[in-house]
Chain A
Amino acid sequence: MSEIFRDEETGHDAKLAALYRTVAREEPPPALDDAIRAAARRAVASRPQRVSTPFIRSWRIPLSIAAVMVLTVSLVTVMREESPEMVLSPGGLPGEADQTRAGPAADTGESATAVPKTLLPHVERSDSVGLRPPAQTGSSGIGLRDNRVAPGPAAESRKDMATAGHRQTDVQSMSAPARRAQPEAFPGADGARDNKVEAPSASPAGSSMAEATQSRAELAPEKWLERIEELRRQGRFEEARTSLAEFRKRFPNHELPASFKEWAGP
């Protein structure tokens, strides 16, 4: 040890260092070498797989939208099955419309007013499924449409209309602009077709004339002519002439009674 070179600052001993290197020969086992090298290669090779992460991320939004749509459709379906009075189908599925009225709560406006607001926009966009907004039905719901029907002959005509389909009441429960947008969906019911044309007269400026027109819209031709005759007997000739003009537009081929030809002209 006499030839040892010593670093005064660190005390480094060259001979001790050399002696250490002769004995310090331990190495990791070859199996460990292989495992570490393989892991290092996998780490590098895994880089392209990371590209798939943005690919998955790019599908997150479409998948989310699809999931929301499925959930929404499911909810609407469940609502139609469990609370049919909330959902109306003015255009199609006639059996469904009957089911709607058959429910115990069909004639109560409460269920209509209980519709969650969050569902309104979706249902309003739908062409086949309509939701009756509370503002249009009022607090009385379907009861309001019954009030619109004039008493007397019109009440009798309602029985006829019942055989032609119940959708008319749904149409009546809607606002006038909404009714104008309705297609002719009531085949076999003349009164119902009349309703479609008469709808503009049910404007907010409604007077006794408008109510009479509303009632006539639901009349059969014979009943309508009887009402016109009644108007003449009451001295309401102007109204009788107006109503007859409408009648002729509606039933141009219907032959008028002889008593009408005297004052109605050809």
Chain B
Amino acid sequence: MATAQNSSDEELMERYRDGDAGAFDLLYGRHKGGLFRYMLRQCGSRSIAEELFQEVWMNLTRARRTYTVQAKFTTYLYRLAHNRLIDHYRAQAGGVPVSFDEDDGPALDSIAGGRREDPALRADHRQQAGRLLQLIDALPEAQREAFLLQQESDMSVEEIAKTTGVSRETAKSRLRYAFAKLREGMQEFQ
């Protein structure tokens, strides 16, 4: 079992493809948290996040027969999640958020300033964390996605670009804008 725990994600996925259910348990344990938070922050509803989260894993189990190692497993997994999320957006009245079509985000000074004035967020570290979550929720979807992919799965810019189906420059731009807005929102704690 120690060998399995030291195996890479790709090796585990290949073992699951070949019929090893235990390999799936290890993979799931490694990535369930990050993927769930990615879904939770992107769709804003816990119940919907749980539904989409389950569907992504089910899609993974169905697609296992055709799985071949062509990229990092996280790129493969989050690509499934990204596609499912886009389908979810399309099913909504508002459609796919505009931010997914933008190479660059809005101006850095467009972050809503009213949230800074919340006195409850100025107390301690927990308040800072809560404020950070608010700022993340306020990010455009595409920028938030780039931020979450980096934070939850340690993806590089190239991997984010591959997962979200955009160019490296677009991915880098989204990530840069996301951090800039978060920093600006957190300035009051400096």
Contact = CB atoms under 8 A, between A and B. Distances in A.
B18 to A, nearest CB: 9
A24 B54 contact: no
B180 A11 contact: yes
Contacts of B189: 1
Given A23-B132, A39-B58, A40-B28, A29 B50 contact: yes
Interface in A182-220: none
Contacts of A35: 54
Given A19-B132, A33-B28, A39-B58, A26 B179 contact: no
A37 interface: yes
A22 interface: yes
Given A9-B172, A24-B152, A44-B19, A32 B50 contact: yes
B182 to A, nearest CB: 5
Given A12-B179, A43-B64, A23 B50 contact: no
Interface SS majority for chain A: helix
B130 A23 contact: yes
Interface in B67-118: none
Given A19-B128, A22-B125, A43-B61, A11 B176 contact: yes
Interface string B41-71: 0000000001001100110011010000000
Contact of A24 (B37, B50, B177, B190): B37
A132 B126 CA distance: 101
Interface in B132-190: 132-133, 136, 150-152, 157, 172, 175-180, 182-183, 186-187, 189-190
8 contacts: A11-B175, A12-B179, A19-B128, A24-B152, A29-B50, A33-B28, A37-B25, A40-B25
Given A40-B28, A44-B19, 16 more contacts: A12-B179, A19-B186, A22-B129, A23-B126, A23-B129, A24-B133, A24-B151, A26-B33, A26-B40, A28-B33, A28-B36, A28-B53, A29-B50, A32-B53, A33-B28, A40-B61
Interface of A: 1-2, 4, 6, 9-13, 16-17, 19-29, 32-33, 35-37, 39-41, 43-45, 47
